[in-house]
Amino acid sequence: MRTILIPTDFSENALHALTYAQEVYKCVRTEFYLLHAYADEVYGSFQNSTVSERKKKEKKVRAEVEKKLKKLVDQVTGIPPNPLHKFHTVAAFDSLVDAVNDFANQENVDLVVMGTKGETSNNKTIFGSYTVQLFKYVTCPVLAIPAETQYKQPKKIVFPTDFMVPYKRRELKLLGDLAGSFKSEIHFLYISDFNVLSDRQVDNRLFLNESLKKAYLFFEMTETANKVAAIMEYIIKNEMNLLTMVNSRHSLFEDMLYRSSIDELGMKVKIPFLVMQNLPR
């Protein structure tokens, strides 16, 4: 069984991410948790309010949020409902990142699925600030679904990596199960000017081979210096359906975050982006 957390701001894009997740896990027993964090809605207009005023505002906002969440569940349950899917709602008086991270740890969530370009996002980047914060700080995998993405089975997955970081078995199992259920290809894209791997890199590559036996694995290399350009060229040329990377200290993903390449990638990539976490859980 999978436990999936869907943060929602009740926008069309958040709904799109939810329906996408329902399609991906259509044949899997899944618990969906729909979460809305509403602290900003309480504090936004009552910054100088008294405690009693704030509590009154919080109670009112919570009631409105719970009503919207119930309506959302009714909207996506389906007729007839999928017997493998159960829906739960979470109204959290907290910031989005803290609410998602706390709930993910509390319920041992397998995956967070969220839309990119919520109601507060601008049009300059697909990956809004909240999405990047979840990529960086949430201790479980995050799947970002661009607004324009039409659902396609993830038959072809590109995984840019430098093979420098070890991988968590649980994270790879999530990817392996996903790839196995769709009989997918996983293309490991090694972006480097050096075509000889170190012993450490060889060990990590062997671990990937052992951990992802349900998928068809391909190992590719490019000498292109611009990582974003290399990734985008590979996605387009090979018609990839899903981009996945690992977030860890000294990883390729962290390097791209440091250089603001994630924003550049976010303006171009039009396919779902799965970020796995190499963080303690």
CA torsion through residues 205, 209, 214, 219, sign = positive
**Domain check: are 96 and 171 in the same one?**
no
Q: Are 271 and 240 in contact (CB under 8 A)?
A: yes
Instruction: Check whether residue 132 and residue 45 sit in a common domain.
Output: yes
Is residue 151 included in any domain, yes or no? no
The predicted structure's pLDDT at residue 132: 77
Which residues sit opposite 36 in a β-bridge?
91
- Does 278 fall in a domain? no
Supply the CATH number for residue 115's domain.
3.40.50.620
Last residue of a domain, one of 119, 146, 173: 146
Residue 107 lies in a domain: yes
Predicted TM-score of the model (pTM): 0.88
**CA 28, 33, 38 angle in degrees (round to 5)?**
160
23 and 107 share a domain?
yes
Tell me how far CA of residue 37 lies from CA of 21, 102, 203, in angstroms. 20, 12, 41
Token pair listed for 100: 């998602």
Residue 31 and residue 139 share a domain:
yes
Domain span at 9 = 2-146
By the 8 A CB rule, do 268 and 240 touch?
no
Q: What is the CATH number of the domain that holds 217?
A: 3.40.50
Side-chain half-sphere CA neighbours of 160 within 13 A:
28
Is-contact 105 138, C-beta < 8 A?
no
Are 134 and 103 a contacting pair, CB within 8 Å?
Answer: no
- pLDDT per residue rounded down to tens, the chain (281 residues): 999 999 999 999 999 999 999 999 999 999 999 999 988 877 765 566 677 777 888 899 999 999 999 999 999 998 789 999 999 999 999 989 999 999 999 999 999 999 986 444 444 444 566 787 788 788 889 999 998 889 999 999 999 988 888 788 888 999 999 999 999 999 999 988 778 889 999 999 999 999 999 999 999 998 776 888 889 899 999 999 999 988 765 556 556 655 555 556 666 778 999 988 865 55
Q: Is residue 89 in some structural domain?
A: yes
Give the pairing type, strands 142-146 and 273-277.
antiparallel
What total number of domains does the chain contain?
A: 2
Can you say whether residue 89 is alpha, beta or left, with left for phi > 0 and alpha for psi between -120 and 50 degrees?
beta
